[in-house]
A = this chain, B = another copy of it.
Amino acid sequence: MLGNFSYHNATKLYFGDDSLRFLNDELPKYGKTVQLIYGGGSVKKNGIYDAVINILNANGKTVVEDAGVMPNPTADKLREGVKLARDNKVDLLLAVGGGSCCDYAKAVSVSVNCDEDPWDKYFLRFEEPDCEIIPVGCVLTMAGTGSEMNAGSVITNHDQHLKIGHVFGDEVMPKFSILNPRFTLTLPKRQMVSGIYDIFNHICEQYFSGEDDNTSDYLAEGLMKSLIHSSLIAVADPQNYEARSNIMWTATWALNTLIAMGKETDWMVHMIGQAVGAITDATHGMTLAAVSLPYYRSIMRCGLKKFVRFAKEVWQVCPDGKTDEEVAAEGLAAMEQWMRTIGVAMNLRELGVTEDMLEAIADATILLDGGYKQLTREDVVTILKESL
């Protein structure tokens, strides 16, 4: 049954190869001081930084530089960004980068006017903001996290060996996001592939729960099929704009709440993957890829009906003369073949994980419900061993 829910997603999106110019339409809506958030400097090499600065200057904005947001933004960096925003009384947080920059900008936005430590309040205690939120805008340069149209933020605390995501209320969503697929063309292939798997896993986490044939599941299948189609083109020809544009659009809808409406979701692959990231600092999408198949194979029999549907609808497995278990297993085998073809990490060793780290990763794994099987810590250790 499609359960009860509310849906509200007011982020305005500008999509396409000339979409950056719409920043001129958005900037006049906000005050004079803009905190410009970006990562390690690739936006300076590929010209996106200059293009954004030119538009900010043309609109008479005072720019506060906030560079060096790392792939897994840290609690320490978050505290620095909050101080910067406070000291300069910024009016808009403009993230120029991938999901890390967008996530970080949202974490800053809810913390500037908050007296408590943001890591403790939002990521350890999962509280909601009770202060004024600074508006966020995004210029996206990488497809994957969906952070450009959701209220999620993932922050890492290396001291505590924790990487934790908080999905805030709708009011924390970016006010606008600019999605130019051409900006993603300069990404290294491995990062593109990591993003593709992140998208696929977002869909899986929302799809593999519940037993009903509801609209959300049909939409999820459409997104998966679109992604598989475009990913194979993009891996063979990374400069293919058509494929990259469809991947970018799929990423947004894979995690902007739509396909989770009215159903349960299962975020255990993210929980395990984030624990791997907390210990190793490995690339997010690759951590998900490395643990996905052992996880899904371990729960397959508990959600057999959905895994059979996945095999038939997403991978065109012919069920004739096969048991449900065989059909479901063939679906996961087809998924494995696709993962190998696009070139994701197929095990944890590729990410630098060794056997002696597994207990610490299991300790850092948050056990959620919602999936076909409630995992124990021992289950997590077993899945990690099979992922090595």
Contact = CB atoms under 8 A, between A and B. Distances in A.
A11 B9 CA distance: 8
A47 to B, nearest CB: 20
Interface of A: 1-19, 22, 181, 212-215, 217-223, 225-226, 229-230, 241-242, 245-246, 249-250, 253, 258, 261-262
Contacts of A220: 222
A261 to B, nearest CB: 7
A241 B214 CA distance: 12
5 contacts: A4-B16, A5-B15, A6-B15, A8-B11, A9-B10
Nearest to A6: B14
A347 B73 CA distance: 62
A18 B6 contact: no
A185 B9 CA distance: 28
A15 B19 contact: no
Contact of A261 (B5, B7, B249): B249
Nearest to A249: B215
Contacts of A12: 6-8
Nearest to A212: B242
Given A8-B10, A217-B226, 10 more contacts: A2-B181, A2-B246, A2-B249, A7-B15, A9-B10, A214-B249, A218-B222, A219-B219, A219-B253, A245-B262
Contacts of A258: 253
A8 B13 contact: yes
B242 A2 contact: yes
A17 to B, nearest CB: 7
Contacts of A229: 213, 218
Nearest to A19: B4
Contacts of A3: 16
A246 B6 contact: no
Nearest to A7: B13
A-B CB proximity, top 5 nearest: A4-B16, A222-B222, A218-B226, A218-B222, A10-B10
Contacts of A10: 8-10
Nearest to A2: B245
A247 to B, nearest CB: 9
B213 A223 contact: no
A6 B13 contact: yes
A215 B219 contact: no
Contacts of A249: 2, 214-215, 261-262
Contacts of A4: 15-19
Nearest to A170: B12
Contacts of A262: 15-16, 245, 249
A17 B4 CA distance: 7
Contacts of A226: 213-215, 217-219
Contacts of A19: 4
Contacts of A261: 15, 249
A215 B249 CA distance: 7
